[in-house]
């Protein structure tokens, strides 16, 4: 298995533009998590899904952020409109229900100018 796959790996955009981050979890995993990492705030959980259903989105910073999981092998995190303070590394992670270990993807480094 290739592990969790994220795309793009790097994204540079201008303030006000829409940004879409993509994630493919490990095949067969039941849970998918989206995190944001910054120096100031550390690793923050934004939202997580269980069997494609959003369970907890209390970490989503505001209405500009939305996430979907249309099927078991794909999820998106969308920011519209983007702002400079959204600049961060965004990680996707997945896990099996019977095990607690989360496997992280390589991350997407987002820079909003």
Partner 1 sequence: GENVEQHPSTLSVQEGDSAVIKCTYSDSASNYFPWYKQELGKRPQLIIDIRSNVGEKKDQRIAVTLNKTAKHFSLHITETQPEDSAVYFCAASNRDDKIIFGKGTRLHILP
CA–CA separation, 15 and 64 (whole Å): 12
If the CB atoms of residues 16 and 28 are measured against partner 1, the closer one turns out to be 28
Give the x/- contact pattern for partner 1 in 54-93, rule: CB under 8 A. Answer: -xx-x--------------------------------x--
Select from 33, 34, 65, 90 the one that contacts partner 1 (CB under 8 A).
Answer: 33
Q: Which stretch binds partner 1 (CB under 8 A): 21-29, 37-45, 67-75, 77-85?
A: 37-45
DSSP code, position 41: T
Select from 45, 57, 72, 87 the one that contacts partner 1 (CB under 8 A).
Answer: 45
HEC-encoded secondary structure of 52-80: CEEEECCCCCCCCEEEEEEECCEEEEEEC
Task: For the beta carbon of residue 86, count every other beta carbon within 10 angstroms.
Answer: 21
- Backbone φ and ψ for 84, nearest 5 degrees, come out as -55, -35
Please report, as ranges, the residues that interact with partner 1 according to CB under 8 A: 31, 33, 42-45, 48, 50, 55-56, 58, 91, 100-102, 104-107
């Amino acid at each position: 298995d290739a592990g969790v796959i994220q795309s793009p790996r790097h994204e540079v955009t201008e303030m006000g533009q829409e940004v879409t981050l993509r994630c493919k979890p490990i095949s067969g995993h039941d849970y998918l998590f989206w995190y944001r990492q910054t120096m100031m705030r550390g690793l923050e959980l934004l939202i997580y899904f269980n069997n494609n259903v959003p369970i907890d989105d209390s970490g989503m910073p505001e209405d500009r952020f939305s996430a979907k999981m249309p099927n078991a092998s794909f999820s998106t995190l969308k920011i519209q409109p983007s702002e400079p303070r959204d600049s961060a590394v965004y990680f996707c992670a997945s896990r099996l229900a019977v095990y607690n270990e989360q496997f992280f993807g390589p991350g997407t480094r987002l820079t909003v100018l």
